[in-house]
Amino acid sequence: MILQFFLAMAACASFAVLFGVPKDQFFFSSLTGALGWISYLVFCELGAGIVFASLFATFFLTILSRFFAALRKNPVTLYLVTGIFTLVPGAGIYYTSYYFIMNDMHMFTVKGMETFKIAGAISIGIIFGFAIPQKLFQIRRR
Amino acid sequence: MSRNQSNNKEILTLAVEIGDALLRSGSEIYRVEDTLFHILDAFGLENFDVYVLSNGIFASANEDKEDGCSIIRHVPLSDVHLGKIAALNQLSREICDHSCDIEEAWERLAACKSIPEPKPWVQGLSCGIGCGCFCAIFGGGFFDSIFALILGIFLQYMRMDHENRKVSKFMTNIVGSAFLTAASLLLLNLKLPVMQDKIVIGGIVPLLPGIALTTSIRDLFNGDYLSGAIHLLDALLTGMCIAVGVGFVIIVYQHIPGGVSLP
């Protein structure tokens, strides 16, 4: 788990470089991503299933991004975008097209539905995360 | 307070320029609209309206008076640069605090716009490290991650090259994912102990439409349906392009005799 944390952090940090995140925000961007990924793993451990784990992890990630954004007075996008990459279903896209080509219609449907559900779960997670009033984050800043 | 025509026009131009730069760097619609409103308000314009789409800005001020002016701006979808968004956000904050007048704002805007992209080798290396790490966290072994790292570096150089030559984004995604799949299959064929699927999964992460997806959801949630739909379509098409690239190579591979059979 600790190894996963640092790997996720390194992964998010390098993406932060790629997207031109200002140097003083590297740490927070990558921390957000790493914590998002760890929370995903934790929710999976707790038996939430991939889709629900994605939902909860995105929700957590969004709240964390908003918290950091308020704390560091920067746009939320800075933290959210770099962090979300750990949760976007890249593996799902790969397996879906793979099974489609291999003519394994059963697995294709399973993986395809799963990918769509994950994408939907991420959307809902973000929406719920932003539904929390901004005031709560502003109080914490002081 | 009387203000001559050129001043009104200049304020509106400044605001739209800032909005343009924000939109180009991949900001969400709501932030651009909000920034424009605040800036125009801070400079004391009274009668103005702003309408922002993912690829355009419409703004007008004092339309009912003699010195009315309006600006329409087309902003093509382009690469994300979060550093610029942060800098512009800071600039608009200062304008709203009235701690920054028009001349200074123009200078600051030029400075924000000229924040450089990371150097090519930095981009390549960071993309490589990102791919390697993602490969590792998605279940790849040590060797898989190393290969993903190397392929990631190549991938980023290819993307930069395509960008310079104005190759369509769809082609870049198809070719990029096809290249990754082909390279991973080659490694598999060399009888190296690799998990081919994990290398590809780690490698395609930089191509994934994470930003488009996030932005589109946030736009939709804020009620900017049109802009949200534009970004959502972008995300879906990007995902499909990746699938096409991967699929195409696997089909071709299946027809090459003597390959290692896929699981």
Q: Of A9, A50, A72, A77, which to mutate for an interface test with B (greatest number of B Cβ within 10 Å)?
A: A77
Asked if residue A13 belongs to a domain, the reply is yes
pLDDT of residue A15: 87
Rounded Cα–Cα distance for residues A21 and B25 (Å): 11
Instruction: Say whether both B34 and B106 belong to one domain.
Output: yes
Instruction: Say whether both B74 and B104 belong to one domain.
Output: yes
Contacts of B115 in chain A (CB under 8 A): 20
Instruction: Say whether both B215 and B98 belong to one domain.
Output: no
Which long-range contacts link B87-93 to residues 24+ away (Cβ below 8 Å)? B87/A22, B87/B111, B87/B112, B87/B115, B88/B18, B88/B21, B88/B22, B88/B25, B88/B27, B88/B35, B88/B112, B89/A74, B89/A75, B89/B31, B89/B35, B91/B18, B92/B18, B92/B35, B92/B38, B92/B39, B93/A73
Task: Report angle CA B23, B29, B32 to the nearest 5 degrees.
Answer: 60
Rounded Cα–Cα distance for residues B250 and B197 (Å): 11
Share of chain B above pLDDT 70, in %: 95
pLDDT in tens, A43-77: 998 988 889 999 999 999 999 999 888 888 888 88
Asked if residue A93 belongs to a domain, the reply is yes
Instruction: Say whether both B106 and B189 belong to one domain.
Output: no
Mean pLDDT of A14-20: 87
Cβ distance of A75 and B197 shorter than 8 Å: no
pLDDT under 70: residue ranges of chain B:
1-6, 258-263
pLDDT of residue A88: 86
Structure tokens at B182: 């082909």
Asked if residue B263 belongs to a domain, the reply is no
pLDDT of residue B214: 85
Instruction: Say whether both B137 and B102 belong to one domain.
Output: no
Residue B217 near residue A76 (C-beta atoms within 8 A): no
Nearest chain B alpha carbon to A127: B221
Of B84, B197, B239, the CB nearest to A20: B84
Asked if residue A140 belongs to a domain, the reply is no
Instruction: Say whether both B127 and B198 belong to one domain.
Output: yes
Rounded Cα–Cα distance for residues B45 and B41 (Å): 6
- The answer, for B91 touching chain A at a CB cutoff of 8 Å, is no
Of B122, B213, B262, the CB nearest to A122: B213
Asked if residue B261 belongs to a domain, the reply is no
Instruction: Say whether both B38 and B127 belong to one domain.
Output: no
Domain-terminating residue out of B113, B139, B162: B113
Q: Which domain holds residue B85?
A: 5-113
Whether the pLDDT of residue A137 is over 80: the answer is no
Asked if residue A92 belongs to a domain, the reply is yes
pLDDT of residue B43: 83
Residue B61 near residue B47 (C-beta atoms within 8 A): yes
Asked if residue A30 belongs to a domain, the reply is yes
Residues counted in chain B: 263
Contacts of A21 in chain B (CB under 8 A): 82-83, 86
pLDDT of residue B1: 41
Whether the pLDDT of residue A142 is over 50: the answer is no
pLDDT of residue B261: 65
Domain count, chain B: 2
Asked if residue B64 belongs to a domain, the reply is yes
Asked if residue B73 belongs to a domain, the reply is yes
Instruction: Say whether both B131 and B188 belong to one domain.
Output: yes
Asked if residue A47 belongs to a domain, the reply is yes
Rounded Cα–Cα distance for residues A63 and B95 (Å): 28
Domain count, chain A: 1
Q: Which domain holds residue A114?
A: 2-134
What does the mean pLDDT of chain A come to? 87
Asked if residue A141 belongs to a domain, the reply is no
Domain-terminating residue out of B113, B137, B152: B113
Instruction: Say whether both B129 and B224 belong to one domain.
Output: yes
Asked if residue A59 belongs to a domain, the reply is yes
> Closest Cα of chain B to A74: distance in Å?
6
Asked if residue B262 belongs to a domain, the reply is no
Please tell me whether the interface predicted TM-score (ipTM) of this complex is above 0.95: no
Asked if residue B235 belongs to a domain, the reply is yes
- What residues of chain B, 36 to 75, have a C-beta less than 8 Å from chain A? none
pLDDT in tens, A94-128: 888 888 888 889 999 999 999 989 988 998 999 89
